[in-house]
Structure 1
């Protein structure tokens, strides 16, 4: 494509809530941590190479890859805390945390077996972890 020679009305997406095609044979539950897995939305899980996208705004089930889309919103969300040696503490605020499953995060990458979830912002008295999640963080 050649460079512009006149004004152009460039389409815009505000990026507050994005629709992602869902991975084949996959169910995503509303409120879960959603990741990009080879370009498709999937629930968070222990695996490498995933990109944390945000929270599912609805539930969705796909039979074939991309047969449905799920609305996902980046932001700051409270997820469950991992256990024992991977427990996140308030002292970890400002640090990266890692995906255990679609509702749980951990302090470490589990010896490079987990993908990054986002940035720890706070830990509540009940142990819940507030995480800033979204692509490009």
Structure 2
């Protein structure tokens, strides 16, 4: 394709809420990490975290594709925000880790380390919550 020589309108989305096709038999729970497998399908919230997965954000609602095929339905994912997650007590972030990349330990918990590349990236650690002291704010973009 050649360069344009006239003004054009480029379509866009804000990217804060996206639809993700679900994996066959997946059940994703509202408020948990929205994870996709290596093929790009949304996976169940009970699936163990693995380095081959990607975190896109947080499930906006519960999505049940337990009777469907790959891509049979889609779930909405909220992203480009800071979300409040549990801090894994055995691999916890501290104040010194502010701004650091953190990792998915389970469907509602982050960890400081990737556990020898076994955990996918969750996002950036933005700080502690004053009310829920065992929780941290994580930016997912």
Q: Pick the TM interval, shorter chain.
A: 0.7 to 0.9
Residue 14 (structure 1) aligned with residue 14 (structure 2): yes
Is contact 1:45–1:99 with CA below 8 Å preserved after alignment? Answer: no
CA RMSD of aligned residues (A): 1.8
Q: Specify the SS of the correspondent of 2:70.
A: coil
Q: Of 79, 84, 102, which residue of structure 1 is paired with 2:85?
A: 79
The alpha-carbon deviation at position 50 of structure 1 amounts to 1.9
Q: Corresponding residue for 1:60?
A: 63
TM-score, length basis structure 1: 0.86
Counterparts of 2:137 and 2:125, CA distance in 1: 6
Shift of the alpha carbon at 1:36?
2.4
Q: CA deviation at 1:3?
A: 4.8
Cα distance, 1:5 vs structure 2: 6.0
1:103 maps onto 2:108 in alignment? yes
Q: Aligned residue for 1:94? A: 99
Q: Deviation above 3 Å: which 4+ runs of structure 1?
A: 1-10
Query: Unaligned stretches of 5+ in structure 1?
Result: none
Structure with higher strand content? 1
Provide Cα deviations, 1:106-128, integer angstroms capped at 9, x if missing partner. 01111221111110001235210
Mapping for residues 20-35 of structure 1, pairs under 5 Å: 20-35=20-35
Q: Which residue of 2 aligns with 1:129?
A: 136
